[in-house]
């Protein structure tokens, strides 16, 4: 599994639904950075923000996490629920945007945000919501691509600067206080299949709420 291909910009729920109406988009495997960072955590309640086709949610559920899978695309959530059913694990799907979603299960012990397509705003609402969704003692994991070819993306009608980055979430946490930055690094990744296979380097930020 993986991320948004900059050559196919998609912003609205309708556009993402269209993207998830055809063939499988992502690799079907859990993201390497999630597996590496979550493996040492004690399972509790997890929120997968922008769950896509569900490989991360299903992997987390298989590790004993109680998972809520959130995506603005109802078709993404349907794919996630179908994948969970096939795997024989329980995942609760929520079809809504991050800012609009009603999440009675909040706060969460783990909020995982893998290759988010969350639009940036001048007031930093998305970053604030992510921080608010994490329980005291919990973890916020935000991963995105390093080295996106901005000129190429702009030619395709997509500005990478329109989206929330791991660095911005880290900055919001540091500014708020009460958070420890446990990981902030670039890291190679190997994804063989799916629309994100050409991205080779991750930006990984892991934050711990005191």
Ligand X SMILES: C[S@@+](CC[C@H](N)C(=O)[O-])C[C@H]1O[C@@H](n2cnc3c(N)ncnc32)[C@H](O)[C@@H]1O
Q: Which residues bind ligand X (CB under 6 A)?
A: 1-4, 16, 26, 31, 49-52, 70-73, 76, 97-98, 114-118
How does DSSP classify residue 119? B
Tokens of 129: 């919501």
To the nearest 10°, report the CA torsion of 166, 51, 67, 24.
-140
- For β-strands 91-95 and 66-71, DSSP reports them as parallel
CB of 1 to ligand X, least distance (A): 4
Closer residue to ligand X, CB minimum distance, 174 or 186: 186
Query: DSSP 3-state helix, strand, coil percentages of the chain (rounded to 5)?
Result: 30, 25, 45
CB of 128 to ligand X, least distance (A): 14
Distance, CA of 47 to CA of 189 (rounded, Å): 23
Termini Cα distance of the chain: 31
Closer residue to ligand X, CB minimum distance, 71 or 92: 71
What are the φ and ψ backbone dihedral angles of 112, each rounded to 5 degrees? Answer: -110, 125
Closer residue to ligand X, CB minimum distance, 177 or 199: 199
Closer residue to ligand X, CB minimum distance, 72 or 173: 72
Closer residue to ligand X, CB minimum distance, 174 or 201: 201
CB of 13 to ligand X, least distance (A): 7
Distance, CA of 103 to CA of 122 (rounded, Å): 24
CB of 159 to ligand X, least distance (A): 15
CB of 48 to ligand X, least distance (A): 7
């Amino acid at each position: 599994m993986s991320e948004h291909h900059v050559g196919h910009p998609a912003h609205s729920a309708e556009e993402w639904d269209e993207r998830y109406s055809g063939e499988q988009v992502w690799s079907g495997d859990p993201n390497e950075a999630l597996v590496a960072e979550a493996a040492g955590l004690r399972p509790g309640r997890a929120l997968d923000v922008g769950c896509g086709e569900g490989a991360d949610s299903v992997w987390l559920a298989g590790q004993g996490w109680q998972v809520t899978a959130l995506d603005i695309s109802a078709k993404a959530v349907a794919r996630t629920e179908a994948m969970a059913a096939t795997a024989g694990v329980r995942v609760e799907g929520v079809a809504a945007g991050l800012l609009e979603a009603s999440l009675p299960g909040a706060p969460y012990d783990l909020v995982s945000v893998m290759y988010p397509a969350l639009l940036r705003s001048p007031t930093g609402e998305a970053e604030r919501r992510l921080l608010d969704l994490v329980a005291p003692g919990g973890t916020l994991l935000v991963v995105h691509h390093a080295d996106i070819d901005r000129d190429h993306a702009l030619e395709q009608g997509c500005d990478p600067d329109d989206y929330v980055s791991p660095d911005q979430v880290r900055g919001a946490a540091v500014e708020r206080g009460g958070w420890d930055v446990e990981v902030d690094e670039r890291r190679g990744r190997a994804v063989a299949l799916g629309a994100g296979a050409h991205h080779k380097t991750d930006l990984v930020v892991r934050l711990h709420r005191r």
